[in-house]
A and B are shown apart, each in its own frame.
Chain A
Amino acid sequence: MQNQYTDWKQALRSGLLGGAITVLLSLIGIVTAFSNTYIVNKVISFGELLIVGPIAALSLVAIQKARARHPGLLILTAIISGLTSGLVILALAGLGQVINLRAMFLNASNDLYAIYAYKQALVPGLLLRLLVSGLVGALVAGFTLLPGRIKAAISQGLLYVILVGLMGRLIGTVLNTWGFVAILFKWMFVANSLSPIGAIFLFLLTGGLAYWRYGRPKTKQITDPKKQKLVRWGTLGGFGLLLIFLPNILGMWFSEILDNVGLFILMGLGLNIVVGFAGLLDLGYVAFYAIGAYTIGVLTSPELGFFNLTFWQAFPIALIMAFLAGVLLGLPILKMRGDYLAIVTLGFGEIIRILVLSDWLKPWLGGTQGIQRIQRPVVGIGEFSITLQSQQQLYYLILAGIVLVAFVAVRLRDSRLGRTWMALREDEDVAVAMGINHVATKLTAFAMGALFSGIGGTLFAAKIGSIYPSSFQFLVSINILSLIIVGGMGSIPGVFVGALALMGLPELMREFAEYRYLFYGAALVAMMLTKPEGLWPEARHRLEFHEEETPPPEESEAVPESA
């Protein structure tokens, strides 16, 4: 009896929380904003998913926390949780009818209530909503009672339908440019989202695949080292070729996005050295980016007319400036503890921005008007030289930058210096007692990060052609930090994954751009709470010069590395 009582309470609590999350998302405005972003055309929108998702998730929590084991009781628990969530939503809609919530909450509009009510008349619509909420709970409960194989199939299928549906525009746009493929897939996509038939097909396909693969051993590992090497170089080569032709495959619009993502990858790789390798939280990373960009601007822009250098003449100077700034700032502050370091670097970033904005330095730095007509980089000699101007051309410059920076980052990670950074990150006192000069070591990381950020700045200046102080806000530092955290601190592939996920997605989904920082903030918190090692954590790299075969002793358990 006691058990059931606590289960009731738990179900109510989960339901309230689920409803509260939905209401929060509604009031922030995401639900309304995405109500026309269909996952399956005219059937289910992303906005609807945002309403149902929290309800389903919290029903799941209620079931997992329930003490009762009887299926009927579990289903009842989930239904109660779902209904409670539904009631919370109804309460908001009801309240909205009585008082004008809109005076305060912009998004508590009739549009929202209409979405709640499935665009029906309010009273029957909201009752339908309540019914659906309870049904969602029941479905979730039913799902948990299924055997593992079917569960895997259903969740895999749903995941793919949602992902493909969300990326409908991207996939649709790309497919349209590829003649015959477009014809092949036309029936799957309608108006940038999945058609109902397409969705069912995709669900059956991916779900079926998961069903088939369930419990089977994974594809065989290649054990022969020579073959392994061949495979590795093969994939690398293929990947390289793909990267080279990517702008041609994707076209103009995507090239611009690629460039933006590329710049962030480049700077992410740099910040990864500082934050990931050396464990120094640098929140003023944007300052060096600004220094790189502004040095290029001041040195090359004919508008200011001080120097009129070409891009490549100014380039090394910009790098030296960024590096020196890193050293000069780093020297005094690297003795500080981690959290103070974060704030001081943040302050430094703001100081740079304020100086750039100020009337005092306007004659030199352009103030709010920024610097225009920055020289574009010229590649080649004599008659064969071209000015890199279009986004597609600049792509290759950025790609070259990424390759260089990634190469350096990998080399540094696998060196004595990389080890030293790691030791400092693990236990600073002991590292110093091992004879490590902590200021010099941290300074190297900090200055390398600054240098890479500076490279990012120069390329940014070359890409945009004109720079304004508003491009160098604190938010840029946060962008880069977020992508590192999401990808996995200290992980080089993680930077790529993080950048594609955090920079690429908002660019691709314009509705998303509005909420990108909301999403980043939530992502940072969620990652730290659930997966602090990131989406693609650093595989503990094996030492390259292996002397003896070392069978792992039995008492060792694979303990995931915690960040």
Chain B
Amino acid sequence: MFRTWRQKITMTDIMVWIIGLSIAVVVIWGTISTLQSGKYSAASWFDLVIKGLALGGVYALIAMGYTLVYGILRMINFAHSEVFMSGPFTAVFLANALQSNGFLSRQPLLGMLAITLLSMAVSMSVAILVERVAYRPLRNAPRLVPLITAIGASFFLQYTFRGFYGSGFEAYPTIEALNGYWRIGAIPLFKTQAVVIIAAVVMMFLLYAIVMWSKLGKAMRAVSEDKEAAALMGIDVDAIIVFTFALGGAAAGAGGILYILQFPVVHFYMGFIPGLKAFTAAVLGGIGNVPGAFLGAMVLGLLESVGPNLFLDGLGIPVASQLKDAIAFIILVFILIFRPSGILGERLSQTKV
């Protein structure tokens, strides 16, 4: 038994483990010294956790697009970050119009609903369009080809929307109903964050229900298992793929509105980082796996929000929050090295593509 072990271990593994261990040491050391310094109160930790969960909710909704498409086509829809961007970047004009005629303050719920629906519709249309133009003709091409097309589509979309709406920032109006906070004992809970978390959980559950229990969802899973067999059973594979893109796009559009509730400024480049993070979340949870995407997103949101203060602050790194994106990407690198199947994914580690 030992001999087989020895034959399997290579220089690479040793090096990877050394890097992994040293990062673990830094993290633990940083955590201990941060906690010892007592710089942050329990309330501020709570605040960070809620922030992280709210962020995680957004990532979860975007991650759905990656995970569903990957499940069916085994490709990374690189343009999904632009699918996410297109919704809120378009809906901002509706929001401002509703704000200026006072509708948003009179009927905040209806107004938000309209904005969200518009955002979802736009993101969905963009996702379907991308599939039709850029991916469908390449269904049987070598793996690298659709990936490159996806990158191209991503840039085309970014700069198309830049051309449409300009290269500047557009601000969403503040929704008065969501200003302020509730109190849980002594600890304040911001209304927006609470609403975002609840909405994200509800929407993720809805998506899960669609995938698991609806007829289309079942067909989707059949296609993801085996396209040919599904086609033989009379399932219109192309239609199911379009549906998958549409569902992922709608989720991203909804996620976009939850995102602007936290960061109420939109611009053409806004999709890039959240998209990459959501992809990380999808991989973290196990790509192709819906509950995995949710779990991965929440974990990532938490790590990103709490991480810089918890791990790095104690090491004396100034403005540690600047490094929050780096944390997310380091996590991505390390999951892919140590557990490419993610937290919940199992099936994919076995399939050799």
Binding site for B on A (CB under 8 A): 24, 27-30, 103-107, 279, 281, 283, 331-333, 335-340, 342-344, 346-348, 350-351, 354-355, 357-360, 429, 439, 474, 478, 481-482, 485, 515, 517-518, 520-525, 528-529, 532, 562-563
A-B CB pair tally, cutoff 8 Å: 166
Whether B75 sits at the interface, judged by CB under 8 Å, is yes
Closest to B163 in A: A28
Residues of B with C-beta under 8 A to A107: 163-164
Given contacts A27-B164, A344-B336, A359-B322, A332 and B16 within 8 Å (CB-CB): yes
Q: Which of B12, B148, B333 contacts A528 (CB 8 A)?
A: B148
The answer to whether A517 and B158 touch (CB under 8 A), given A106-B164, A522-B152, A529-B137, is yes
Q: Which of these, A27, A339, A521, contacts B152 with CB under 8 Å? A: A521
The residues of A that contact B10 with a CB separation of less than 8 Å are 439
Chain B contacts for A283, CB-based, 8 A: 151
Query: Which chain B positions have C-beta within 8 A of A343?
Result: 76, 276, 279, 283, 332, 336
Q: Are A521 and B165 in contact (CB under 8 A)?
A: no
Other-chain residue from B165, B322, B325 in contact with A360 (beta carbon distance below 8 A): B322
Interface residues of B in 131-181 (CB under 8 A from A): 133-134, 137-138, 141-149, 151-160, 162-166
Whether A331 contacts B152 by the Cβ 8 Å rule is no
Tell me if B134 and A525 are in contact (CB < 8 A).
yes
Do residues A360 and B317 form an inter-chain contact, with CB atoms below 8 A?
yes
CA distance in complex: A515, B167 (Å): 12
Give Cα A562 to B141, complex, Å: 9
Contacts of B323 in A (CB 8 A): 354-355, 358, 360
Evaluate contact between A29 and B163: CB separation under 8 angstroms.
yes
Residues of A contacting B318 in the complex (Cβ-Cβ under 8 angstroms): 359-360
* B-to-A contact residues, CB < 8 Å: 10-12, 15-16, 19, 75-76, 93, 97, 133-134, 137-138, 141-149, 151-160, 162-166, 272, 276, 279-280, 283, 317-320, 322-323, 325-326, 329-330, 332-333, 336-337, 340, 352-353
Q: 8 additional contacts, CB 8 Å, given A343-B283, A529-B138?
A: A30-B163, A331-B12, A332-B12, A343-B76, A358-B322, A517-B159, A528-B141, A528-B149
Chain A residues positioned under 8 Å from B163 (CB to CB)? 27-30, 106-107, 515, 518
Give the distance to chain B from A515, nearest Cβ to Cβ, in Å: 7
Contacts of B75 in A (CB 8 A): 339
A106–B15 Cα distance when bound, in Å, is 53
Question: Which residue of chain B has the shortest Cβ distance to A347 in the bound complex?
Answer: B329
Q: For A521, give its contact among B147, B158, B336 (CB under 8 Å).
A: B158
Interface contact B148-A355, CB-CB below 8 Å: no
Report whether A342 and B332 are in contact in the complex, using a CB–CB cutoff of 8 Å. Answer: no
CB proximity of A33 to chain B, nearest CB, Å:
9
The answer to whether B144 touches A281, judged by C-beta atoms less than 8 angstroms apart, is yes
Contact A478–B159 (Cβ < 8 Å): no
Can you sample 6 A-B contacts with CB below 8 Å? A104-B93, A350-B276, A358-B323, A521-B156, A525-B149, A528-B141
B148 touches A524 (CB 8 A): yes
